[in-house]
Every structure is written in structure tokens, then in C-alpha cells.
Amino acid sequence: MFFLIGFALLLIGVWAQIEKNNIYSHLNKVVGYRDDPDLQVLIDTMQESWHCCGINGADDWDRNTYFSIAAREVASPEAGGVPFSCCLNSSQMAFKNFYCGHGVRLKILGICFAQNLKSDIFAQRAKWYYTH
């Protein structure tokens, strides 16, 4: 009995590893996201179903020509962004907001910079008050 359970667990582990590699191979194709409509639908469906954005995070989309931060130089409106399927609740909305991911990675960097700058200003102000 324990042998069968152990064997079943081993098979499940092997199957999960094979499927993981299969999923990685599909999601690693973000480079051709806009070039192949079928691939685009596949990636959007996977990201919406699993509530994820890329494999390792939103920065995976920097490998795509259209979403790369460097695409700002060619005036791509999607530069520094992610596809709509990365947005929260994109699969639950009646009408999809296809622009929700535009420039989102650039905005996050700006927000972090502003928060750090604000903290530094408050720290310097407090330091000045204590010394004067």
C-alpha cells in the first residue's frame, strides 16, 4: 500500500516537473508576443488564469520589443509596460481595459523614487531642526 502511494507521489512529481518545463517554454516566448496572434492569446489566457505576469515577474516583459523600456526611443506607447492580462481583475471585467498596463513599470520606478526623496527630505528637515 505504501509502495503504491510512494509511486503515485513520484509520478505526480515527475508530471509536475514536465508540465513546469512546458509552461516555462510557453511563457519564455514573450519575445514574440505581438508578432504571433495565437501566442498572444495563449500567453494572455495563461496570465489571466494563473494571475501572474511573466515567469519571474513583470520585468520579463523587458525582453519584448514593444514592452521594453528601451522602446521609449521608438515612441512605443507600451514601452515600460505589461500586457493587459497582467492587470488585476482583467479576467473578471466585462470590458477589458487594454491600456491598463501601459508604462506601469516606469510609473513604479517613479513612485519609488518619489517616496525615497520624500523620506530624505523629512530626514534632513528633522536633522536641521534638531541642530538649530
User: Tell me: the pLDDT tens digits for 81-130?
Assistant: 888 888 876 555 566 666 677 777 766 666 677 777 778 888 888 888 88
DSSP output for 44-62: HHHHHHHT-SSSS-GGGGG
pLDDT tens, residue by residue, 32-64 = 888 889 989 988 898 888 888 887 888 888 888
Q: Is 72 exposed, middle or buried (0-12, 13-18, 19+ CB in 10 A)?
A: middle
27: confidence class by pLDDT, cuts 50, 70, 90:
low
For the chain, give the longest Cα–Cα distance: 79
Count CA atoms closer than 13 A to 9's CA, side-chain side. Answer: 6
Q: Give residue 72's pLDDT band: very low, low, confident or very high (50, 70, 90).
A: low
pLDDT of residue 46: 86
* Assigned CATH for 2-103: 1.10.1450
Name the CA dihedral angle for 97, 67, 69, 93, rounded to a multiple of 10 degrees. 20
Question: How does 74-106 read in b/e, with b if 16+ C-beta sit within 10 Å?
Answer: eebebbbbbbbbbbeebeeeeeeeeebbbbbbe
Distance CA 87, CA 89 (A): 6
Domain boundaries, the chain: 2-103
For the four alpha carbons of 44, 48, 50 and 54, in that order, the dihedral sign comes to positive
